[in-house]
Structure 1
Amino acid sequence: MAKLYFRYGTMNSGKSIEVLRTVHNYEEQGKKVLLFTPSVDDRSGVGLVASRIGMQKAAIVIEDGVNMVELAAKERPNCILIDEAQFLSAEQVQQLTQIADDLGIPVIAYGLRADFLGNLFEGSSSLFAIADKIEEIKTVCWFCDRKATMNMRCKDSVPIFHGEQIQIGGNESYIPVCRKCYTEKKRQAEQK
């Protein structure tokens, strides 16, 4: 039975590297993979999955109206991989369940758990609710040696705690932090 997997982590935890490694492993064995990424993630260009260490691969862009179930039924890949799955809608996550359940194709979605304020994204919330298997990809806090569990948004290296939920960015905009350091930095910002 095919499953829907959700592999989540903070910024800088290596999610995109894992996506690209998994694609490589399937393709090296002569197997077909469909790689998807939401259109909102344009850091390296729309339709491109890229890691901070320089690896990248073209991907199918998920936009409103894209039917991943029809595409999977037509292409019949061995696996479906999604990068930046937090940006999916609940309806798009339902399509992933159809691919796993009705077509028997495993789906592995990678993404953030929560935004810079600690709130779940729609895609992450849906994946936590219905994924068959949930796995954490871990990294270390920017400020201490604890496990990072939160994403801290920064502007000019200063933590900020206001703004829109979605702001596309990399190391210039986000750092991974533990809850304790996040709380301390938030208290400091509120006192100013």
Structure 2
Amino acid sequence: MAKLYFYYSSMNAGKSSSLLQADFNYRERGMNTMLWTAALDTRSEGMIRSRIGLEAEAHRFGPATDLHDAVAVAHENEGENAFGERGIDCVLVDEAQFLTPAQVWQLARLCDEAGIPVLCYGLRTDFRGELFPGSAILLGIADALVELKAVCHCGRKATMNLRVDAAGEPIREGEQTAIGGNESYVALCRRHFSQALAR
């Protein structure tokens, strides 16, 4: 039975590189994959890029994208894999926190009805420690939850994402979504996250 996976972590835990490694493993075995990333992240320009230099082209999803239908069409039209079978063997989704709840259910249908495994990679919480809507549904319905580990400056596991301004000072309020990398976010353990916000 195909499964819906959610690989989650704070920033800088290697989510994109893990996704790209999984994609490589499928393709090395002659299987067909379909990669997706959030259109909201304009830095990617239709690519999934890891901080260690790996990258691959990906389809882009926005709030109105019907992932079930898009993958189903590709599944019907994709050429034969190494086993003489047609279709998509695996769907991999980067920036899964930006999925809408409806899109998470669409991906679950791909697993349940089309038998296609779906691997989602994303943040669990935002800069306030609150769940992203897509992550909340994934945590609720995914068949497998896998935490990827990031490290706080103290050496403990980083579970929180501190948003910072250009001077490195904590930002306590604002929109849930603000695209950025190391210049905008710091992965911290809960203790140091709380201390930073209390300053």
TM-score where L is the length of structure 1: 0.94
Displacement of 1:70 after TM fit? 2.2
- State the Cα deviation string for residues 28-60 of structure 1 (Å, max 9, x = none): 111100001121112232x21111122111101
Partners of 1:100 and 1:90 in 2: CA distance: 16
Q: C-alpha distance in 1, partners of 2:173/2:113?
A: 42
Q: Tell me if structure 1 keeps the 8 A contact 2:63–2:100.
A: no
Provide structure 1 residue ranges, at least 5 long, that are not aligned to the other structure: none
1:185 is matched with which residue?
196
Shift of 1:68: 1.9
* Structure 2 segments unaligned to the other structure (5+ residues): 76-86
Equivalent residue letter for 1:123: G
What whole-Å deviation, never above 9, does each CA across 1:134-163 have from its counterpart, x for those lacking one? 01000111x311100100111122222111
Separation in 2, partners of 1:151, 1:64: 23
CA RMSD of aligned residues (A): 1.0
- Count, aligned residues: 186
Quote the Cα distance in structure 2 between the aligned partners of 1:145 and 1:154.
20
1:7-156 map, 5 Å: 7-45=7-45, 47-74=46-73, 75=75, 76-141=87-152, 143-156=153-166
Q: What percentage of residue pairs aligned between the two structures are identical?
A: 47
- When normalised by structure 2's length, the TM-score is 0.90
Q: How far apart, in 2, do the equivalents of 1:44 and 1:65 lie? A: 19
Deviates more, 1:53-62 or 1:97-106: 53-62
